[in-house]
Amino acid sequence: MANKTTVTIDANKARDLITTREFTNKEGVKVELKEIKFELIEMKPESQKVIYDHEKFQNVKTHFAVKPQTKEEREAKSDTVFVGEGVTQKWKSDAPSQDVPVETDSLDSEFIPF
């Protein structure tokens, strides 16, 4: 089974991430679009933290979300604004389940319609 990552963003901080973009579409109509942009960064394996451990899977904090910085903010070494986190559900057994064979001794092959 594939791993699944859930991203949680702090709603109060998300309001600061909203930007407005305008463009003209193919039909010539001016469109205004509101977007929320953030960067999702994977944590180093040694920094990841198990937050829930079940016999079949683990929930592991594997990512963090930050507000994108402009070139000027990076050059000024501005503080990083953390806005959320990503938790990945990792299955402990990735081996495919094996089908259990069906007993066919009791079936009479004359009654099978195909």
Distance from C-alpha of 7 to C-alpha of 88, rounded to nearest angstrom: 9
Any domain includes 79: yes
Angle at 88 between CA 8 and CA 3, to 5 degrees: 130
- Tokens, residue 2: 């594939």
Average pLDDT of every residue of the chain: 84
pLDDT digits (tens, 9 = 90+) for 34-44: 999 999 999 99
User: Is the residue at 101 inside a domain?
Assistant: no
Query: What is the CB neighbour count within 10 angstroms for residue 109?
Result: 6
Tell me whether residue 106 is in a domain. no
Distance of CA 62 to the CA centre of its chain: 10
Would residue 110 count as lying in a domain? no
Tens digits of residue pLDDT in 36-81: 999 999 999 999 999 999 888 999 999 999 999 999 999 999 999 9
- 99 within some domain: no
Q: Say if 109 falls within a structural domain.
A: no
The reply to whether 102 falls in a domain is no
pTM of the model: 0.65
Domain count, the chain: 1
Look at 36 and 2; give whichever has higher pLDDT. Answer: 36
Question: What domain range is 90 assigned to?
Answer: 4-94
